[in-house]
Amino acid sequence: MADYTAPDCPLVGVNVGFCELTGYDPDEVLGRNCRFLQPANGAGPVRERMRAYLGDEKMLDEKFVIPNVKRDGTPFLNLVYMSKLTLDGKVALVLASQFGVMRAKQNDFDLYDRALGEDMQQLSELTADTNWAVLGSVEALASSYSIIARSQIL
């Protein structure tokens, strides 16, 4: 989870899955932009797409395949689904779900799709009676499987 209202969108929360995927502990990443995971030569053209998404409050959600590097120096491709959360009608946070697609198995793709869908549904239910709103919908997740498959082929 990143703070959309702060300069450079720093991380304000990470879960166990993020820490396991990247090899970093929460105290090493909170307050930093996720860009630190990119290789020394950058993420390439996907970075411009990410900037466009973050710069446009009307873009509700998006998926990206980003080259990243784990704490131990191991490179991996990271499938990231981002969704903007609003408070009182203004984007306040960006929720991201990540999945390492290198050497992933078919069952991993299915688990990712199911877990992401369940997380988004639970988040929508939890925020239903508050001023928080999840922009986008569970239906927008339908193409994540094809993105994972394409990244395996490339």
Q: Where are the domains of the chain?
A: 2-153
Residue 82, Cβ neighbours under 10 Å: how many?
20
Structure token pair of residue 131: 């001023």
**Which pLDDT score is estimated for 4?**
95
* Rounded alpha-carbon distances, angstroms, from residue 25 to 28, 70, 97: 5, 12, 17
Report pLDDT digits (tens) over 109-146.
555 555 556 655 665 665 566 655 554 544 444 445 44
Low-confidence spans in the chain with pLDDT less than 70: 102-154
The average confidence (pLDDT) of the chain is 78
pLDDT of residue 139: 43
Question: Does the pTM of the predicted model rise above 0.75?
Answer: no
Contact criterion met (CB below 8 Å) for 119 and 138:
no
2-153 is a CATH 3.30.450.20 domain: yes
